[in-house]
Amino acid sequence: MMAASQTADRLRLFGRILHMALTAVWAHRLRSSFVILGVALGIASLTIIVAAVDGAERKAYQIVDSFGPDAVFILGGDIRNRAVGQRTNTLSYEDVEVLRQSLPGAYRVVPMRAQHNLPVRFENQKMQVANIVGATAGYADVWNWPLSEGRDFSEEDILRGAKVCLIGDTPAQELFGDRSPVGRTIYIDKLPVQVIGRLSYRGFSGGGGSIDERIILPITTLTQRFNLDRKYFRALRVKFTSPENMDFHVENLTSLLRKLHNLTEGQPDDFSILTADEILKFLSMFKGGLLLFLGITAAVAILVGGFVLANLFYLSVDERKEEIGLKKALGAKNSAILLQVLAEAVTLTMIGSLFGMAIGMGMAQLLERLGILEILFSWKVFTYSTLSSVAIGILFGLRPARKAAAMVPIEVLKG
């Protein structure tokens, strides 16, 4: 009973002190607004950082997702230590056949060839398409890239070297506008091909150029009609049935290819294997760099906000020492004074944090519009901003608050 009424008394006192703090904050609006501004700038940069890092992470997962966790990508030549004059045309048709037949766990082996920057025409619309890619049956499946309409290549299309193609979103938009491209005939250079399917919009680039700017032809058609080397492929894509055994698959693949290429022990690989894991590693390095750079910026900005707060509160406590001394003379305990000053500080930093989040979101959206950053807003932004603003308030308000609480009434009340 006693304890309950004591708790009630404490809560009431807490509420009253909070009210005093709010009244004081409002009464000193000008000074308050400086603190709010200082903190808002710090929180704004924090908001941008959290949103940008989340955005980068989302992008990383999108890239990995489209790459597929169950796939590897084999490039001719060693991209890590590219020796001078080393051959990059090392992946042969024979390699593809052997991998198809004897690599355990692999259910698709797709050779890849590409032509770049060919003129493409439909009726009067003309454009240069950056990537003309050769592929085998089931392109959409192998690349986890759904078709928005039409159908994928069949085995027969590949065997016959059929004059059909899948069209990426960018050329589809440019050549056909709102019309459906499926069933129409376009000219790639001088070759007429029928569009049988349209790839869905992907919208993010894997570095340089739009990923949607592409047209896919059967690999046989590409090789025959555009006079490409028939023996070697630029790259191979292999899909496995069990993505959890990726390390094992990569090891198998490496030793099989080394054997096929007659490499002896000590000789470097003449091919490179990329997995989703490695892409993730690269992306997390990128994310780490972003975090470090933006993190330092935010830390500095928040520190500046904190020092603005600390200095203005020293000033405020000094200017209001009569008020503080009076309150102590009238029976306010040290803890009540400490609490009031801290409550004032935290109130200001929390208001600052709200403004900061608003500014940060605006800035982040601007950066995204300008294509500088990928942005993702989440509750994380709100949580981090609020927590760090409370932390700034307490951390930087504590010394002025202690100073206020330690004031001796008879020293500050003269006469």
Binding site for another protein (CB under 8 A): 9, 12-13, 16, 20, 23-24, 27-28, 322-323, 326-334, 336, 409-410, 413, 415
- Cβ(356)–Cβ(44) under 8 Å? yes
C-alpha atoms less than 13 angstroms from C-alpha of 56 in its C-beta half-sphere? 20
Give CA–CA dist 45/359, Å, rounded. Answer: 9
Cβ distance to another protein smaller for residue 28 or 239: 28
Closest separation in Å from C-beta 377 to another protein? 38
Closest separation in Å from C-beta 7 to another protein? 12
Cβ distance to another protein smaller for residue 272 or 340: 340
Give CA–CA dist 412/205, Å, rounded. Answer: 67
Cβ distance to another protein smaller for residue 84 or 410: 410
What DSSP string describes 168-180?
-HHHHHHHHTTS-
Cβ distance to another protein smaller for residue 10 or 82: 10
Give CA–CA dist 281/319, Å, rounded. Answer: 55
Closest separation in Å from C-beta 390 to another protein? 25
Closest separation in Å from C-beta 324 to another protein? 10
Q: Which residues pair with 271 in a beta bridge?
A: 76
The number of beta carbons lying within 10 Å of the beta carbon of residue 242 is 12
Helix (H, G, I), strand (E, B) or coil at 145: coil
Helix (H, G, I), strand (E, B) or coil at 129: strand
Q: Which residues contact 24 (CB under 8 A, 6 or more apart)?
A: 320, 340, 344
Cβ distance to another protein smaller for residue 265 or 411: 411
Cβ distance to another protein smaller for residue 167 or 339: 339
Closest separation in Å from C-beta 23 to another protein? 6
